[in-house]
Structure 1
């Protein structure tokens, strides 16, 4: 689908250019071009759908900051002064506030995707082919649900917007409950799961499929966590696992290779393309070491999202995932070895800064079967042979021994075993924080991290010490600009 992304880039630039930064939640994708003029036929609706996919770039650029950086997987480099990268450090150390630029930019980007989705959904009448109309509706609802799902897990109760609204209506929005948000998320994903194609032709690879929607639906049902939805999650995830035709690749590294995109393990990914098209991935440069020049990747790095000490300790020496996910040292252009950890998962060959070709994987088969094992454990009060087999399948691919009896003897033992294996398998894919929130383990795990990681306990750098967090800090604050525009909007407790 990268050819589609290129075609839509100019159209999306026009749409974004007409939007006002002063609008509260940035929900109206077109303000000066009439909707009837833009959505005149099927082709224009298709372009608008691709525009929703393109908007994911705006979200993805900050998602690691509000997820992975807040987990025990990564941290900010402590080689810099306490005054460097302050907005990042606030999130890393859980001392954020409503003015933090990244909590605001991620919020805005998420609602931009939701707004673009709503506008497509309101203009499907011009699509004559009912099958194609159902596909476009499924894609728009999948992408809307994906954004709302992330918002509710990060901020708690949020605005639920399912139609295009003007600036004044946006200023009068009120936060809705988490339960109401999940009703919309699940309804959207169920429609997508039941109406999206199972696959596409080669020219449209990358569009959301039935199986991508099913994977997200299963995760949403599991996260919502009511007994009925836990049962439904198991059913949906088993369908994706057994019917989609997806599988674990034999080679973990090949899952993420830019030369092997949308392989048999990938269900959905945010697409990037190098070549100075405005579609390149910035993550190789963001995550590589400072002052590395071209020794690690072209243009050097910003040394953000640094793997923690704990990440170095969780892998056995023969686990190939470790060196795919991160490096513990690098050699500079003078031949000197620098002992610094950095994320290498998104590195590749490219010739312009922030222009890597690597896609960012959102969901893959390994995630589906591990979530299925989790759902089985929840529904049965303990693991079954089927559930254990799914985790062992992932471990076997990584040259690791099967789970031990101690890891599978009780419900909680197995739950912890899944948590640990997911951390190894999905390192730096923005899963870890959401996993800890879903299992209600965020406070316990993060407080242990802040107690045990030397970087937060260095007697020579007390300015980086981090106090234990409280439950309210698992949610981000509502951005201050929303409250300024509508003072009746309630801020999250504690902020």
Structure 2
């Protein structure tokens, strides 16, 4: 575990964001410098900026501690049966190629970015939670809220870590350099117990809703949705169902928290419709930063949008400089072709260029089909900075259709209210004018795939439901090994206590 790459040390640098302004949401703040944690937390403004820094690892998708591109969607979509890695060739973003082909080794794969960004988040929240009680002038109400947000964030980071790696250190305090190399891996059960404890403590202290200027901050609904998902992954079916029911309310209606399915499926993903009624937890991206390649480690824009655009496209709809990653597999095209969600999920670039007399350069592993939900549309081009690096598209990490289907799945597995399970499932289908179907696990799994395609959920769903070995056999997935990622090689060197995951 090289100290340069390690996340768990108390003497950290905080990348501090500015105060939110009326024209920006909370997580669109520009970095304003770096400060040693030991010299910080002197007043409420610094406490707020440290809170912004604690959110930052889930927003910044470029750079990381090893200077790689770390947007999670690229790797997760590459790992699934929805997409290939694509790009310009077999060596383009080798981390994605390795997980696409299941040729990962401790040295090659996306694990370095996942490990670094999430443990950076853990470290920042650990420090935040330690320092907040002693910040001079911080009101009791702000202390309560900031603490709850820190607990939510730590739970969020650890949930990603335990799902991706299973065997990770459980670090709940800031560490000095001398302690870094002594951290053992905890059991997954211990990590999940801490995630549950953090979310349970956070929920009553979080606001039910936030103002527009605070969009992107954790709410009660987001914390309950995440807790319900955590229960689902542990097969605590009854707890998952009851917790998610508090988020969902009456199927097809408006929940206590104001969540409601967006009537037009395609509107969910438009940059002009951020924080819509279906959004429960949304990762904010800004197109207003005026950034160039010299700002690689600072982007708060959505570079993934650029990544998935068709290469050298010349035509009327899409921006003509995409990089061709994550082309859609024939498998997904076949599954969704006759579904009303198809045109909002899949871009048939091959047919479009033939129909309009335009052209594009097919990607490596290209199929002619590309991601539509995050496509680089000309209508979304901003005038600040380089277009390639300033896309404004948000990522809705948890949305209402997702929580509907998770609750339906939990109810069926728990032997619970099958009528409510069917109502939840069929509310999702009714939104796109599909006929009702029975609330079976097979139908729920299929609905999750079609509803949430290319949104980063598919690989996790396949692994947790035991379908990965079959569904991903064509990519070389090996059960018992590829259910988790390898621990990054640099984290197992220099006498650390970390042990490599089996099969790697």
- 1:388 corresponds in structure 2 to 422
CA RMSD of aligned residues (A): 2.3
Which one of 339, 362, 371 corresponds to residue 343 of structure 1? 371
Distance 1:129 1:441 in 2: 50
Structure 1 residues 353-412: Cα deviation after superposition (integer angstroms, max 9, x where no partner): 12111111111111111111111111107x711101111010111121111xxx54xxxx
Which of 10, 33, 36 matches 2:32? 10
Question: How far, CA to CA, are the matches of 1:337 and 1:437 in structure 2?
Answer: 38
Matched with 2:243 is 236
Does residue 479 of the first structure (1) align with residue 500 of the second (2)? no
Summarize the Cα distance change of 1:295–1:143 in structure 2 as closer, same or farther, 3 Å threshold.
farther
1:294 positional shift: 7.4
Whether 2:232 is the aligned partner of 1:222: answer yes
2:42 to 37, 40, 43: 40
CA offsets per residue over residues 125-145 of structure 1, 9 Å max, x none?
Answer: 226322221211111111111
- 1:206 corresponds in structure 2 to 216
Question: 2:349 matched to which residue of 1?
Answer: 329
Superposition deviation, residue 70 in structure 1: 0.8
- Tell me how far 1:7 sits from its aligned partner: 4.1
Give the counterpart of 2:407 among 363, 368, 372.
372
CA distance in 1 between partners of 2:242 and 2:144 (Å):
23
Matched ranges for 1:12-161 at <5 A? 14-15=34-35, 33-35=36-38, 37-58=39-60, 61-77=70-86, 81-100=89-108, 102-125=110-133, 126=135, 128-161=138-171
Q: Distance in 2 between matches of 1:46 and 1:484?
A: 36
Q: Aligned pair 1:397/2:431, yes or no?
A: yes
Q: Which moved more, 1:466-475 or 1:434-443?
A: 466-475
Select the structure with the greater relative contact order (CA < 8 A; seq sep ≥ 6).
Answer: 2
2:303 aligned to 282, 288, 300, which one?
Answer: 282
Q: Distance in 1 between matches of 2:89 and 2:109?
A: 19
**Structure 1 residue 327 displacement after superposition:** 0.6
CA distance in 2, matches of 1:268, 1:170: 32
* DSSP 3-state at the match of 1:123: helix
Q: Is the 8 A contact 1:38 1:44 kept in 2?
A: yes
Distance in 1 (CA, whole Å) between partners of 2:112 and 2:154 is 18
Q: Provide closer, same or farther for how the CA distance between residues 255 and 294 of structure 1 changes in structure 2, counting only shifts above 3 A.
A: same
> Counterparts of 2:37 and 2:104 in 1: how far apart (Å)?
40
- Structure 1 residues 291, 235: CA separation in 2 closer, same or farther (over 3 Å shift)? same
Question: Compared with structure 1, are the counterparts of its residues 82 and 359 closer, same or farther at alpha carbon in structure 2 (3 Å cutoff)?
Answer: closer
Residues 145 and 184, structure 1, Cα contact 8 Å, conserved in 2: yes
Aligned counterpart, 1:265? 278
* CA deviation profile, 1:60-101 (whole Å, cap 9, x unmatched): 843124422111111123x86544443322110111000025
TM-score using structure 2 length: 0.83
TM-score (norm 1): 0.84
Q: How many residues align?
A: 444
Cα pair 1:59 1:106 within 8 Å, conserved:
no
More helix per residue: 1 or 2?
Answer: 1
Q: Write out the 4+ residue segments of structure 1 that deviate beyond 6 Å after TM superposition.
A: none
Q: Are 2:499 and 1:490 aligned?
A: yes
Cα shift at 1:38: 1.5
Q: Corresponding residue for 1:455?
A: none
Q: For the residues of structure 2 that align with 1:254 and 1:44, how far apart are their CA atoms?
A: 37
Structure 1 partner of 2:253: none
Q: Does structure 1 retain, via aligned residues, the 8 Å contact 2:54–2:153?
A: yes
1: CA distance between counterparts of 2:162 and 2:61?
15
Contact 1:292 1:301 in 2 (8 A): yes
Secondary structure of 1:268 counterpart: strand
- Determine the C-alpha separation between the residues in 2 that align with 1:45 and 1:8: 17
| Stretches of structure 1 lacking an aligned partner (at least 5 in a row) | 16-32, 409-413, 451-465
Q: Which residue of 2 aligns with 1:194?
A: 204
In the aligned structure 2, how far is the partner of 1:150 from the partner of 1:369?
A: 21
